[in-house]
C-alpha cells in the first residue's frame, strides 16, 4: 500500500497496451505511403489485439473478485437490470459500428480526393 505503481498483471498489461497504442499512432504517422503505413500499423494492431485478449482472459479469472453476475447457465441479476444492461450493450455496439463505418467512409473519400487531385 502507498506505492505509486504495483506490478499487478492487469496494470502491467494495460501499460503495455498504452505503449502499443502510442506506437501505432507514431508508426502510422511516420510512414509517408498510406498503403505501407496501413499495413505496418495493422501488424502492430494485431499484436495489440493479442494483448487485449490476454487482458480479458486475465480479468475473467475470479482472483479476489466477486463471482460473475451474468453466466451462460443463468444469472443472479434482477430482470430490470438485465434489460437495461442488454439495451445499453446493444446501443454501444451499434454506436461503435456506426462511428467506425463513418470513419472508414471519410478515409475512403479523403483518399479519392487526393488521388483525383481535388
Residue 103, CB-side half-sphere exposure with 13 Å CA sphere: 6
Asked if 76 contacts 69 with a C-beta cutoff of 8 angstroms, the reply is: yes
Q: 58-102 pLDDT, tens per residue?
A: 666 645 556 667 776 777 778 888 899 889 999 999 999 999 999
Please state the pTM of the whole predicted model.
0.54
User: Which tens digits make up the pLDDT trace of 14-72?
Assistant: 888 899 999 999 999 999 998 899 999 999 999 888 888 777 776 666 455 566 677 76
Cα distance between residue 66 and residue 45, in whole Å? 32
Give kind and range of the element (H or E) at residue 14: helix 9-30
Amino acid at each position: 500500500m502507498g506505492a505509486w505503481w504495483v506490478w499487478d498483471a492487469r496494470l502491467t498489461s494495460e501499460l503495455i497496451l498504452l505503449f502499443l497504442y502510442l506506437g501505432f499512432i507514431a508508426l502510422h504517422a511516420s510512414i509517408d505511403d498510406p498503403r505501407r503505413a496501413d499495413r505496418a500499423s495493422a501488424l502492430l494492431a494485431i499484436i495489440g489485439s493479442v494483448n487485449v485478449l490476454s487482458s480479458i482472459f486475465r480479468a475473467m479469472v475470479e482472483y479476489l473478485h466477486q463471482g460473475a453476475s451474468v453466466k451462460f447457465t443463468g444469472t443472479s441479476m434482477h430482470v430490470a437490470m438485465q434489460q437495461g444492461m442488454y439495451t445499453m450493450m446493444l446501443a454501444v455496439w451499434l454506436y461503435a459500428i456506426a462511428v467506425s463505418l463513418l470513419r472508414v467512409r471519410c478515409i475512403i473519400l479523403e483518399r479519392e480526393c487526393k488521388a483525383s487531385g481535388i
